[in-house]
Amino acid sequence: MKFRLLPITAALSMAVITSGISYGDGGDDQIASSQIQQGFAISPIPKAALNLAGKAPSKVGLGSYLVNGVGDCSGCHTFPQYLRKGNLAGSNPAAGDPYEGTPSTQSISGQLVANHSVSNYLAGGQCFGPFMARNLTPDANGLPEGLTEAEFIAVMRTGEDIHCEKFPADPICALGPPTPVLQVMPWPTYHSMTDADLQAIYAYLTALPSADPCNTVADGCPGFSGAASGSSNYAYPNTDSCPNPAPPQ
């Protein structure tokens, strides 16, 4: 029996090894790649523009996969998320906004065809009622929202607004009614992610270039604050990277 089992065991081992190699061989234009490879492939900020100094590239790549391929952080924290077709300020002017395209625009095996807004990537500014999405890019000290890794994980696990506890004078902290935990931000979902996943997300955020939001606290949220309060002509400065009005979000 031993001699019969050994070939089976060897075959299974070879199948696992072969499967692993095949899984990691996908190119940047394919989706059948490792999560780390895919993370770098889908990052609106190219790998060459990420600050990888002192960081584990594998952790940053995984973080991008979780941020851009799973968590859709850009959907709330990048405003506008996509730029219209032909807008040279985006990542792929020939692509445009995928929501304004057709199913035939996209492929089954290739990466998303989209003109990502890169100048304001994860810089916040989008409003949800009286609340405004925060700027997640690194501050002057290289910390996303001024948070250490431990503080970032605490926010994601408890909803505690540590940023405004540390920086109460930040104007964004005055927007919206006071609440015991962060609203709109889906921290209850992120709560159950592993430590390694949350650390990877944090690593990716620290690797991003700092960016400023299109819509600022001074502009406010339509009908609630800033120059937008009570105005039917809400507007912020109109530029190629910050078109106003923004494309549908």
Any domain includes 249? no
- For the chain, the domain total comes to 1
pLDDT value at residue 31: 80
pLDDT at residue 28 is higher than 50: yes
Any domain includes 245? no
Q: For residue 27, how many other CB atoms are within 10 A of its CB? A: 10
Any domain includes 156? yes
Domain that residue 223 falls in:
46-100+111-228
Query: How far is it, in rounded angstroms, from Cα 175 to Cα 221?
Result: 9
Any domain includes 50? yes
pLDDT value at residue 233: 80
Element of type H or E holding 128 = strand 127-128
pTM, full prediction:
0.87
Identify which has the larger pLDDT, 17 or 188. 188
pLDDT tens for residues 190-235? 999 999 999 999 999 999 999 999 999 999 998 899 989 888 888 8
pLDDT value at residue 120: 96
How would residue 184 be classed by pLDDT, with cut points 50, 70 and 90?
Answer: very high
Q: What percent of the chain has pLDDT over 90?
A: 77
Question: Which residue type occupies 233?
Answer: N
pLDDT tens for residues 85-132? 999 999 999 999 999 989 999 999 999 999 999 999 999 999 999 999
For 51-71, the DSSP string reads --TTS-HHHHHHHHIIIIIIS
Query: How far is it, in rounded angstroms, from Cα 170 to Cα 167?
Result: 6
